[in-house]
Chains A and B, each alone.
Chain A
Amino acid sequence: DAGVIQSPRHEVTEMGQEVTLRCKPISGHNSLFWYRQTMMRGLELLIYFNNNVPIDDSGMPEDRFSAKMPNASFSTLKIQPSEPRDSAVYFCASSWGTGQGADTQYFGPGTRLTVL
Chain B
Amino acid sequence: SQQGEEDPQALSIQEGENATMNCSYKTSINNLQWYRQNSGRGLVHLILIRSNEREKHSGRLRVTLDTSKKSSSLLITASRAADTASYFCATGLISNTGKLIFGQGTTLQVKP
Binding site for B on A (CB under 8 A): 4, 31, 33, 42-43, 45, 48, 50, 55-56, 91, 93, 95, 97, 99-110
Residues of A within 8 Å of B88, CB to CB, are 43
Per-residue CB contact flags for chain B residues 1-19 toward chain A (1 = under 8 Å, else 0) read 0100000000000000000
**Interface assignment of B30: CB less than 8 Å from any CB of chain A:** yes
Which of B48, B50, B104 contacts A42 (CB under 8 A)? Answer: B104
**Interface assignment of B41: CB less than 8 Å from any CB of chain A:** yes
**Interface assignment of B33: CB less than 8 Å from any CB of chain A:** yes
- The answer to whether B102 and A109 have CB atoms under 8 Å apart is no
CA distance A101 to B90 in the complex (A): 12
- The answer to whether B43 and A104 have CB atoms under 8 Å apart is no
- The answer to whether B44 and A102 have CB atoms under 8 Å apart is no
Q: A42-B102, A48-B99, A106-B45 are in contact. Are A101 and B33 (CB under 8 A)?
A: no
Binding site for A on B (CB under 8 A): 2, 30-31, 33, 35, 41-45, 48, 50, 88, 90-94, 96-105
Residues of A within 8 Å of B42, CB to CB, are 4, 91, 93, 107-110
8 further contact pairs, Cβ within 8 A, besides A103-B92, A105-B45:
A33-B100, A42-B104, A93-B43, A99-B97, A102-B31, A102-B90, A102-B92, A107-B42
CA distance A99 to B96 in the complex (A): 9
CA distance A109 to B40 in the complex (A): 8
Q: A42-B104, A42-B105, A43-B88 are in contact. Are A102 and B99 (CB under 8 A)?
A: yes
Residues of A within 8 Å of B31, CB to CB, are 101-102
Residues of B within 8 Å of A45, CB to CB, are 99-102
Q: A43-B102, A50-B98, A56-B99 are in contact. Are A101 and B92 (CB under 8 A)?
A: yes
Residues of A within 8 Å of B50, CB to CB, are 101
- The answer to whether A102 and B93 have CB atoms under 8 Å apart is yes
Shortest Cβ distance from A101 into B: residue: B30
